[in-house]
Amino acid sequence: MTTLYENAFRTGSRIEGKWNGRVYIVERQLGAGANGLVMLVSRGRSQYALKAGFETIDHQSEINVLKTLSGGETSFRHYLVDVDDFVYQGKTIPFSVLRYIDGATLSTFLQKNGPDWIFVIGTKLLKKLTELHGAGFVFGDLKLENMLISGYGDVELIDFGGVTPKGNSIKQLTEVYDRGYWGMGSRVAEESYDLFAFAILILNALDKQNRFASYRNSLPQNRNKDDLLEMIRGNPHARTVSLFLTKALTGEISSSREAFRLWKSLIVQSRGRSGLHPVRTPWLKVSLAASLLLFGITVYRYLLY
């Protein structure tokens, strides 16, 4: 199956939708996940991400969620651009076309621009979660790999395959981000499920020792709440938001609105105490001066209004 897909979506291929008739030209592969191939394609002067799903059911459920979100009034509006089938050598391949996000992973972005950007990015990610939760969904599989950062710390979620209506069972998860894995809550789609994963994501992004890697596939008795709280205490970059992280991990924040307010207030407080850059680290070199200036402007724009 993989070979068929790789042949069908080779660079330069012309993909014509069977039903809508739109034509896309494949520029390059962006990624290959468990659920499909993702290609950068162009149509006229516009670029898009075209996703061809191997598993029709998973692909369909992602499309259904995206159709709902794309039709709403949130920042997910028009994220889904087209849904169609491509017939290649007699085989029908379903595909969807999404807004292309020209971004970097959070870890790459922080390495390049400095760890203080986590505060801006966290704010924007919480804003996204608030929108998604407001629409009645929980993201489910929130993790570093499922978001891209572009421009001045703009956050975009990708891979909506795990998005679950509130109250249902979480359908896609990644062990270390899952509160059930740590024995710290159920796998029911609640806002607090995403907030737990959000806290792990922040800790993971700031953890230069990559401690979470050692917990993958570990025995249940070898992972617990104390390990996570110790990770917060032991990470100087997380100091500003340690209260937030502790509460999110222990289920003391039940809604993303509440989370957004607490996150913002901790950053504003810390800024009041010590200027724009509450965490000083050796990562911040002179070469980062320009990005710090942008960081300051972005903090001003997004946190203080």
Ligand X SMILES: Nc1ncnc2c1ncn2[C@@H]1O[C@H](COP(=O)(O)OP(=O)(O)OP(=O)(O)O)[C@@H](O)[C@H]1O
Which amino acids are annotated catalytic?
A: 141
CB of 165 to ligand X, least distance (A): 19
Give exposure, 65-96, as e/b (b: 16+ Cβ within 10 Å).
bbebbbeeeebbeebbbbbbebebeeeebbbb
**Residue 49 lies near ligand X (rule: CB under 6 A):** yes
Structure tokens at 244: 């937030």
Among 23, 34, 87, 289, binds ligand X (CB under 6 A): 34
Name the residue nearer to ligand X (CB basis): 32 or 229. 32
Count the alpha carbons within 13 Å of 123 in the hemisphere toward its beta carbon. 22
Q: Which of 8, 15, 26, 38 binds ligand X (CB under 6 A)?
A: 38
* Using rule CB under 6 A, residue 270 touches ligand X: no
> Tokens standing for 97?
């076309």
Nearer to ligand X, 41 or 253 (CB): 41
Q: Which stretch, 156-164, 217-225, 268-276, 288-296, contacts ligand X (CB under 6 A)?
A: 156-164
22: nearest Cα among 57, 64, 50: 50
Q: Which of residues 55-84 bind ligand X (CB under 6 A)?
A: none
Which residue stretches of the chain are H helix?
2-8, 56-70, 106-113, 117-134, 191-206, 225-233, 242-249, 256-274, 289-303
Interaction mask 92-121, ligand X, x per CB under 6 A = ------xxxx--------------------
Binding flag, residue 161, ligand X (CB under 6 A): yes
Among 159, 190, 191, 194, binds ligand X (CB under 6 A): 159
Q: Any residues with CB less than 8 A from the CB of 285 and at least 6 apart, and which?
A: none
Interface residue list for ligand X (CB under 6 A): 30-31, 33-36, 38, 49, 98-101, 145, 158-159, 161
